[in-house]
């Protein structure tokens, strides 16, 4: 089984190129980013080339963080800003060889927000396809992101079906789905045809996947059984030093877990 280090949470005390190197040294197979835009893409690309690690993807900008924004694509009246964020993410992603861009919806609700999100996602898909980049959408749980437009996997699937773009996929974050819907392994099985990337963290504290209410050894085994072999995203918040939080990864690399 392969794993991707989400550098939005892991090794955040390192400059981003050094965090990529740390992920390689720790034994990760890939990396993924949140908002790397303050670091020149050439520096990130060089670190990826040096380590041989692929980049799973990155997020579009959140918008006005000071005003509490968490994405722009479902905000009526912000289409210009949303599309600028999409263009920026696709340009940066193309330069570093990222596989996907996660288009963040933001805090919104209602039919107008849905129509706005659909239009902006269609825009993203049309521009991503020639670059070979996938577009991901991710439901966020109502405890961490109350009022976020995209809240459930059913809602995400309906949007994917409505648009019908081959490059549009679901980012299935086990942490968010467990808090909102539960039934992780059933949802993974049912939604596998829609899934473009899987992330994980312990529930309910979003820590390393070696404690909490979810048995990730079981979840990982189910994912393997389903035939999903792309790197799984470790998007968790370490309690202190990142390297000290990696006992779960070292155990998965032991002969007991040959996958």
By annotation, the residues acting in catalysis are 138, 235
DSSP code string of the chain: --EEEETTTTTTTS-HHHHHHHHHHHT-SEEE-S--TTS-HHHHHHHHHHHTPPB-EEEPP-S-GGGT--B-TT-TT-HHHHHHHHHHHHHHHHHHT-SEEE--B-B--SHHHHHHHHHHHHHHHHHHGGGT-EEEE----TTTSTTBS---HHHHHHHHHHH--TTEEEEEEHHHHHHHT--HHHHHHHHGGGEEEEEE--TTT---TTSSS--HHHHHHHHHHTT--SPEEE----SS-SGGGTHHHHHHTSTT---
112 to each of 61, 98, 116, how far by Cα in Å?
Answer: 21, 31, 6
Q: From 134, 121, 149, 64, select the one nearest 94 (Cα to Cα).
A: 134
């Amino acid at each position: 089984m392969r794993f991707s280090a989400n550098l939005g949470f892991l090794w955040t005390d390192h400059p981003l190129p050094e965090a990529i190197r740390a992920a390689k040294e720790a034994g990760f197979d890939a990396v993924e980013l949140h908002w790397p835009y303050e670091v020149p893409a050439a520096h990130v690309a060089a670190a990826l080339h040096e380590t041989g690690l692929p980049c799973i993807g990155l997020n579009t900008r959140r918008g006005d963080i000071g005003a509490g924004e968490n994405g722009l694509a479902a905000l009526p009246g912000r289409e210009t800003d949303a599309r600028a964020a999409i263009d920026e993410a696709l340009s940066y992603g193309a330069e570093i060889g990222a596989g996907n861009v996660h288009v963040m919806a933001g805090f919104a609700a209602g039919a107008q927000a849905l129509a706005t999100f659909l239009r902006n996602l269609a825009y993203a898909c049309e521009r991503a396809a020639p670059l070979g980049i996938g577009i991901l959408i991710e439901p966020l749980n109502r405890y961490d992101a109350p009022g976020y437009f995209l809240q459930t996997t059913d809602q995400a699937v309906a949007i994917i079906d409505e648009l019908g773009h081959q490059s549009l996929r679901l980012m299935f974050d086990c942490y968010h789905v467990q808090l909102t819907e539960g039934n992780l392994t059933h949802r993974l099985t049912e939604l596998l045809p829609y899934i473009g990337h899987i992330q994980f963290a312990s529930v309910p504290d979003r820590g390393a996947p070696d404690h909490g209410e979810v048995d990730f050894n079981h979840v990982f085994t189910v994912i393997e059984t389903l035939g999903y072999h792309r790197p799984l995203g470790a998007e968790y918040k370490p309690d202190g030093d990142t390297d000290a939080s990696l006992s779960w990864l070292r155990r998965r690399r032991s002969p007991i877990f040959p996958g």
